[in-house]
Structure 1
Amino acid sequence: MLTDFHNHLERGSLTLDYLKKFTDEAARKNIAHFGISEHAYHFYQTKDILSNPWVEERRYYDMNDYVSLFHQAWDEGIDVKMSVEMDYTPGKHAEMKKFIDSYDFDYIIGSIHWVDGFGIDLKEYLHEWDKRNVEDVYIKYFDQVVTLAQSNLFDIIGHLDLVKIFQYVPANEQFLLEQYERAAAALAESKTCVEISTAGLRKPIGQLYPDPRLLEMCFKKGVPICLSSDAHVPEDVGADYSKAVELAKATGYQSLMTFTKGQAKEIPLP
């Protein structure tokens, strides 16, 4: 009864044949609850939520085509959930809600990739890290984690501590734990669950998201979890899941969350 809710078709095409490569890999790895969550910024319908030069070069999908793809899959009996990964954008709550409510999503992932116009996980912006105060970036990043949770617009927060991706981590451990604590506290007051993501193992940081200390804080506060791979190619679906399951169990989790048309359901952790 594994989950993998964070997956992208963007390196291929919005076609049934390409989608099946992902669902076939999920079935091969015994992932019973599987979803596609394409980046919302790719869609013309989200232009009023997030727009900058980097994003506009990559805005090339129409939501009508995306929804149609899922209906094709469902008509063929393929069990795949429909979602998007939305860049949480402060000051755009009304626009985000309008977009989310316009489609029959199974769940919504909210993620933070931008801090004051700085693409924290993009190689194109890597040089910017050396121009900035790391603690300041972390404060602003976790400010957004808090307000993302408070918005209650999202079912899952993606790669909760993505900000560590390029190994820029504050040296002051107490400072870092304070950021973790306020994130966990905000999530505990929301409907948002945390994904244990194996994507970080494929990034420069070489670690799961989130940090075990942050996950433990979430567990102690009753924040639920799911598992995700953030696969951008079919072969990465369910990648390194033994490590994700091991972390979940070591932390104390005994269940995962799954979602259908916005309704959450708890399932046993295998």
Structure 2
Amino acid sequence: MLIDYHTHHARCGHAVGTLEEYVKRGAELGLAQIGLSDHMPLLHVDPATYYPEMAMPMEELPRYVEECLALKEKYKGVIDVRVGLEGDYIEGHEEAIERIVGAYPWDYVIGSVHFLGEWDISDFRQTQGWEGKDRMAVYGQYYDAVAKAAATGFYDYIGHIDVIKRFGFQPEGDVTAMENAALEAVARHGLAIELNASGLRMPAAEMFPSKRMLEYALSLGIPVTVGSDAHQPARLHQYVDEARTLLKEVGYSQLATFEGRRRTLVDF
């Protein structure tokens, strides 16, 4: 069972490739399922004045869903296309997020924390945001947001749960308790997480989440899925074989798949 549930496409502005190019590439790679999961439109900042090319414009959202659904039908019997969304959690904007999540026939919605206020901690152009900050406080704010995202009921799984480490800005203190509390919130609310392989090509040089967090997730009974977080078709499924190997080392034997917001575990 080869799957990749985390992909981005030209509509979001910072990726390349059409949706169909990703689907065709997935079929070439022998994937059983491919998840199309572009970024939710920006809700809490003005796209005209914020950093450019962060997410698809709001007017593109229905077109994105329509194209995903058309590809799902077109490639039936060749590769299973799952229609997804990477839905940012932004504290204070829950009603707007809920409207988007409820408006379309998603197979799954990823809950990801990128923003702490107007600061996107995952954007390489905004690393200056760390300057002068208490890193332990930033990590605390981040993991608190992850726990709040899990509690909303909007999402099917949490994306790259420790992406706060992406650029290597580590605090001096021990963040194990914060990480564990976030995972405990995921378990408490019945969500899955992903093993996001893209961390291997980031300054963190480690998947999201770490092996230690995966081990704790397994002990809590949290299901896991996998994704490459590809932003170009050539990177589809990149490092996912390594991700599967790591999952087996930790003790996982099943992957979470999603259709119609229902989770099914499959052996791998």
TM-score for both structures, normalised by structure 2: 0.90
The answer to whether the Cα contact below 8 Å between 1:108 and 1:154 also exists between their aligned partners in 2 is: yes
Q: Which runs of structure 2 are paired with 1:158-173 in the superposition (5 Å)?
A: 158-172=159-173
Long gaps (5+) in structure 1: 42-46
Matching residue of 1:26:
26
Match of 2:123 in 1: 122
Distance 1:12 1:130, change over 3 A: closer
SS in 2 for 1:108: strand
Comparing 202-211 and 159-168, the one that deviates more: 202-211
Q: Does the 8 A contact of 1:152 with 1:191 survive in 2?
A: no
Structure 1 residue ranges (4+ consecutive) displaced by more than 4 angstroms after TM superposition: 55-59
Structure 1 CA distance, aligned partners of 2:72 and 2:178? 41
CA apart distance, 1:56: 7.1
CA distance in 2, matches of 1:50, 1:156: 22
In angstroms, what is the RMSD of aligned CA positions? 2.0
The separation in 1 between residues aligned to 2:119 and 2:208, in whole angstroms, is 20
* Cα deviations by residue, 1:131-157 (Å, 9 ceiling, x for unpaired): 211111100000001111111210121
Q: How high is the sequence identity, in percent, across the aligned residues?
A: 28
Q: TM-score, normalised by structure 1?
A: 0.89
Gapped regions of structure 2 (runs ≥ 5): none
Alignment of 1:182-261 (within 5 A): 182-261=181-260
The yes-or-no answer on 1:106 pairing with 2:102 is no
Match of 1:147 in 2: 148
Matched residue count: 258
1:245 to partner: Cα distance = 0.8
Q: Is the 8 A contact 2:75 2:81 kept in 1?
A: no
Deviation for aligned residue 1:194: 0.8
Residue 206 of structure 1 deviates from its aligned partner by: 1.4
Relative to structure 1, the CA distance from residue 101 to residue 234 in structure 2 (aligned partners, 3 Å threshold; closer, same or farther) is: same
How far apart are 1:85 and its partner, in Å? 0.6
Deviations 1:42-88 (A, max 9, x none): xxxxx6x3324426765534222112212321342343111111110
Residue 122 of structure 1, CA deviation: 1.2
| CA deviation after TM superposition for structure 1 residue 38, in Å | 0.8
Structure-to-structure mapping, 1:21-100, within 5 angstroms = 21-41=21-41, 49-52=43-46, 53-54=49-50, 58=54, 59-60=56-57, 61-78=59-76, 79-100=80-101
